[in-house]
Amino acid sequence: MRIALAQINPTIGALSENTERIREYYHRGVKGGANLVVFAELSLSGYPPKDLLLYQSFIDREKELIKRELLPLTTENGRALLIGTSHKQGSKLYNAAILLDRGKIKSIHMKTLLPNYDVFDEERYFTRATDHHIEMLDDLPAAITICEDIWNDRDFFPEPIYNTDPLEILYAQGARLLINLSASPYHLGKHKQREEMLPFLAKKYNTGIIYLNQVGGNDGLIFDGSSLVYNNRGELLYRAAAFKEELFYVDTDNLFLPAAELLSPGRDAVDTIRQALQLGIRDYVLKNGFTKVTLGLSGGIDSAVVAALAVEALGSENVLGLMMPSPYSSEHSIEDATELAKNLGIKYRLIKIEEPFNTFLNLLNEKKEPIRDLAEENLQARIRGNIVMHISNREGYLVLATGNKSELAVGYCTLYGDMAGGLAVIADLPKLMVYELADHLNQIHGQTIIPKRTIIKPPSAELRPGQKDEDSLPPYHILDPILHFYIEEHLSAADIIERGYEKETVEQVVWMVDRTEFKRQQAAPGLRITARAFRTGRYMPIARGYDYRYPAGREPGEHKTSSKETPTQ
Amino acid sequence: MRIALAQINPTIGALSENTERIREYYHRGVKGGANLVVFAELSLSGYPPKDLLLYQSFIDREKELIKRELLPLTTENGRALLIGTSHKQGSKLYNAAILLDRGKIKSIHMKTLLPNYDVFDEERYFTRATDHHIEMLDDLPAAITICEDIWNDRDFFPEPIYNTDPLEILYAQGARLLINLSASPYHLGKHKQREEMLPFLAKKYNTGIIYLNQVGGNDGLIFDGSSLVYNNRGELLYRAAAFKEELFYVDTDNLFLPAAELLSPGRDAVDTIRQALQLGIRDYVLKNGFTKVTLGLSGGIDSAVVAALAVEALGSENVLGLMMPSPYSSEHSIEDATELAKNLGIKYRLIKIEEPFNTFLNLLNEKKEPIRDLAEENLQARIRGNIVMHISNREGYLVLATGNKSELAVGYCTLYGDMAGGLAVIADLPKLMVYELADHLNQIHGQTIIPKRTIIKPPSAELRPGQKDEDSLPPYHILDPILHFYIEEHLSAADIIERGYEKETVEQVVWMVDRTEFKRQQAAPGLRITARAFRTGRYMPIARGYDYRYPAGREPGEHKTSSKETPTQ
């Protein structure tokens, strides 16, 4: 039997458009000789459709499209179609895989394990399935499963999350082929997880595995595709393209033969990040109906990397750089930003913020001159925010915010200032990774895209004379690991200190993270790269106490806070 | 047996402080002769603790406080303490009620039904309990349950959400008294729901009921307290204070006697909204470590109502009004704002934005003069945003945003402009309710607080000459019901049109709501008043398609969009 796997990029909620794309891939698959064409989890609606699922009209429309548009396809030629979609039975909604064959719904396979952690909240929408049945595909008994359903193996995971393992049931029924429809978002390390777990299952159950994943950027989540095929020896037969659509074929006989060649395991190199961010930018911009973007260019590394990624995603003609020096900007900031813009071949404008800054000071400072406090630092950033938004509103550019994860974590950023924008491209990239990515971008382009001085000079917000990030923050090679332990690993301050970091520093960092949650809750959506991203995967209260982390008598208030913003506003 | 019920207001995560408060109320209850003192759901951590629960150190600290601080209390005098707290067993976390008696943990009752809809996401953190056992309190067999556990009665609800009903099991075991520890957030109509369901249960099971609810504002959620006691005839014996702490007592014998007097059912009058918002402001400000607030006063009704509520919550000495007229502001805007400030006895400042506005126009407009487009409307709002944030940052005021739900829903507001702030007080109040509340505020104060002209004049953003809200939006008496049907009831445009609203209008409104999701995702936290609030209870994708709502050939793009912002930026 020949199966076509359609790794497509649907747009959330664009039901007709997605149906059209499904039809197109189905026809291609049939032309390619497939007896069955498969689409990933919720590929009709795109994943995650979120509260669109609470609208009965949305569910009805899905049902109607399946009935009117997709079912008839399978009548004409007798080739089956397996699609991921929501499915209502009575008052219960299921996350389902529906097999369409000869103009009829041949069977429905519903998702049993509903992830409800990190970025997932499927318990909000779906009911857990309790029924499991194998499907005969020609003479091959198949376990048709959806994403999480295969991630609960008690021999692989020391502590499985769920009490049920659908695979145990399905293989007890005699399954020989595993087809898994996934919508598995990318994060660093995800490839490795998949490529360790799947061959384990292949060997354990002596089964062929077809793992089909969605591709595309949907708000903060980036789906990488990278679909996988294993034979029953756990040998990798095929790895589909990462970060783009692809149609590929599997002849099921091959799933039970030794691999012709051995593919090396997938790796999450720095280039994966580049590709992920590129797709994330392109899809967010285009799926929102924009074509061009603008961003502030400070001469620093963050905006340089974001500009370079935007050019890769959208083309240099669709990127506008804005240089907005303040009275405290260094000379090299304009030089470096100009060099970058020229290297990238993008348009740029120079708009000095000195005049509006002075006008505000006239209005707000008794002595009409700068007093150089935090408020004035923020004011400069907010004037820039006004300018980029003005140009966005007037000329139709989407604004890219350029802050990195390290500064967002400690609140070293200005709400409505440098945080302003439609998409925060590197909001989930720690500063050290930004450096790595900058080097990598220069390397793969075979020339200096990001100016050397931009990479070498000490990071600075340039909001007061001689300011450096390290005046307010620990050096990034210390800050970033502490943030990783606190945010991704959920270690306490005490745990992190035990790992050899200085007590004062750890407590200062943790304090800054906790007290600046209010900023992150008003941040632009960020593209997810790590295993724990702000906003999409981390939910924290704003008004809260902190006393449990401090020994009695120790006043938390004595900590320094980040310099670009007052502690809680 | 005499039971004391402690309806307290914990701060999220302030574990020591909350323990201190629990100790204090426990002592008061014991002094009042109680054999048992009861605290509400998760009263040790405050509800909802969110991802603090992912920190093992947090769970450990709770356990430690129970062991070191709370258990010893019960040794001293032999009076028991029932507390709501998270509880870990192995790798599983439970939402539990722990009974402390004679220095020991006497029993643990774990929550079975975990709400995961609307504002709730308990499946993210907790495991569902499967074990149910009654507790002997003296000779009275009690069903000790947590919040949702009692909300699944198959005789009361036509379609219960869950397959299990813990009450059926517990009453089959012979329970005679129901104690329910809740953290039930207020929304309009919630009192009615509770006061219909609880007497139904009392009669069905012939049981006394003690329903204890948390009180206090925690970010966007406002817990109203309003704890309830019913006898086994379903007669209301006691209703505790709304929106404030209270300690009250129940003698269990009385639960099986006729009520001495019949209390009338609770009502959600407009005054409930006033009290809820007042508590929401006070708790958000104080729990965040602030004492004073500032806000823009436009002379319009939204800022007037917010200012009046802020004065009620924090005192007039802690509220600063900022009048920031633009060249397009009407004369009466300053007069009305001044009258309001005087009526409220608050300080105010006049800061004209004409100069910074002109400076920006000089910088950004080729002809150095206004062209009066959308970008310039937004610019004025953002200059005001800069000013309020500057004063906030410099002087330590928390900024109150003053937008209402109607304008937030259709995106008739400026990101980083009038949307700037720490707390959006009336973000969940439709415009018509704002009017109702304004009238009510004048009424209860027995004098005109909110100036008559503020209430009477047609709403306007005053961002271009002669602008009125109704130039861009349907009249509020039409807009508000459409928004209610679309956002709270999840009706489709077609359903709403069927209810008698004009097709063009409904489609325009729905279109505006859908296309402005990006703004709401960067909005300040808002206080929840309705059954479906943005941000806390509604999760929508930003980049998405809309085709399914429109018949083929109908281009959605032809719709007008809201005037204060471009369609998607």
Known catalytic residue at A147:
yes
Known catalytic residue at A368:
no
What confidence score (pLDDT) does residue A265 get?
79
Fill in the DSSP letter of residue B536: T
- The CATH architecture to which A2-254 belongs is 4-Layer Sandwich (3.60)
Question: Are the Cβ atoms of B124 and A121 closer than 8 angstroms?
Answer: yes
Rounded Cα distance, A474 and A496, in Å? 15
Rounded to a whole number of angstroms, the CA Rg of chain A reads 26
Identify the residue whose tokens are 């600075």: A460
What confidence score (pLDDT) does residue A269 get?
82
Taking residues A254-269, what's their average pLDDT? Answer: 87
Asked if the C-beta of A360 comes within 8 angstroms of chain B's C-beta atoms, the answer is yes
Taking residues A443-457, what's their average pLDDT? Answer: 94
Question: Are the Cβ atoms of B568 and A11 closer than 8 angstroms?
Answer: no
Of the partner residues A121, A287, A543, the one whose CB lies closest to the CB of residue B288: A543
From the list A323, A473, A337, the residue with the least C-alpha distance to A413 is A473
Q: With 60 as the cut, is the pLDDT of residue A560 above it?
A: no
Q: Which of A147, A312, A377, A462 is catalytic?
A: A147
Rounded Cα distance, A278 and A282, in Å? 6
Q: Which two tokens stand for residue A526?
A: 């960020």
Q: What residues are paired with B212 via a beta bridge?
A: B181
Of A325-334, A346-355, B415-424, the least confident: A325-334
User: How many alpha carbons lie under 13 Å from residue A80 in its C-beta half-sphere?
Assistant: 21
- Cite the residue boundaries of each domain of chain A with CATH code 3.40.50.620: 274-558
Asked if the C-beta of B409 comes within 8 angstroms of chain A's C-beta atoms, the answer is no
What confidence score (pLDDT) does residue B265 get?
79
In order, the DSSP letters of A418-452 are TT-SSEETTTTS-HHHHHHHHHHHHHHTTS-SS-H
ipTM here: 0.94
Decide yes or no: CATH 3.40.50.620 for domain A274-558.
yes
Q: With 90 as the cut, is the pLDDT of residue A547 above it?
A: no
**Which are the contacts of B61, defined by CB distance < 8 A and separation ≥ 6?**
A548, B15
The CATH number that domain B2-255 falls under is 3.60.110.10
| Chain A residues in contact with B363 (beta carbon < 8 A) | 351-352, 355-356, 387
DSSP H helical segments within A9-91, as ranges?
15-31, 56-65, 71-77
Closest alpha carbon within chain A to B60:
A548
- Cite the residue boundaries of each domain of chain B with CATH code 3.60.110.10: 2-255
pLDDT tens digit at each of 569 positions of chain B? 999 999 999 999 999 999 999 999 999 999 999 999 999 999 999 999 999 999 999 999 999 999 999 999 999 777 999 999 999 999 999 999 999 999 999 999 999 999 999 999 999 999 999 999 999 999 999 999 999 999 999 999 999 999 999 999 999 999 999 999 999 999 999 999 999 999 999 999 999 999 999 999 999 999 999 999 999 999 999 999 999 999 999 999 999 999 988 888 777 689 999 999 999 999 999 999 999 999 999 999 999 999 999 999 999 999 999 999 999 999 899 999 999 999 999 999 999 999 999 999 999 999 989 999 999 999 999 999 999 999 999 999 999 999 999 999 999 999 999 999 999 999 999 999 999 999 999 999 999 999 999 999 999 999 999 899 988 999 999 999 999 999 999 999 999 999 999 999 999 999 999 999 999 999 999 999 999 999 999 999 999 987 665 444 333 333 333 444 433 33
The CB density around residue A17, as the number of other CB atoms within 10 Å, is 15
What confidence score (pLDDT) does residue B561 get?
38
- Cite the residue boundaries of each domain of chain A with CATH code 3.60.110.10: 2-254
User: Nearest-5° angle of CA B210, CA B212, CA B213?
Assistant: 150
pLDDT bucket at A54, cuts 50 / 70 / 90: very high
pLDDT bucket at A549, cuts 50 / 70 / 90: low
Rounded Cα distance, B246 and B231, in Å? 20
What confidence score (pLDDT) does residue B564 get?
47
Known catalytic residue at B204:
no
For residue A365, which phi and psi values (nearest 5 degrees)? Answer: -100, 130
**Which are the contacts of A468, defined by CB distance < 8 A and separation ≥ 6?**
A458, A459, A460
Looking at A219-331, which runs of residues are DSSP E strands? 221-224, 228-230, 236-239, 246-251, 293-296, 319-323
Q: What residues are paired with B87 via a beta bridge?
A: B94
Rounded Cα distance, B198 and A396, in Å? 55
From the list A260, A270, A346, A272, the residue with the least C-alpha distance to A308 is A346
Asked if residue B288 lies in contact with residue A568, where contact means CB atoms within 8 angstroms, the answer is yes
Rounded Cα distance, B53 and B61, in Å? 11
Element spanning B94, H or E: strand B92-101
| Chain A residues in contact with B116 (beta carbon < 8 A) | 116, 121, 123-124
Question: Are the Cβ atoms of A547 and B518 closer than 8 angstroms?
Answer: no
From the list A179, A146, A219, the residue with the least C-alpha distance to A5 is A179
Mean pLDDT of chain A: 94
Looking at A29-131, which runs of residues are DSSP E strands? 36-39, 80-89, 92-101, 104-110
Asked if the C-beta of B249 comes within 8 angstroms of chain A's C-beta atoms, the answer is no
Asked if residue A563 lies in contact with residue A374, where contact means CB atoms within 8 angstroms, the answer is yes
Asked if the C-beta of B283 comes within 8 angstroms of chain A's C-beta atoms, the answer is yes
Of A114-123, A506-515, B557-566, the least confident: B557-566
Rounded to two decimals, the pTM is 0.95
Please identify among residues 319-358 of chain A the ones whose CB lies closer than 8 Å to any CB of chain B: 351-352, 355-356
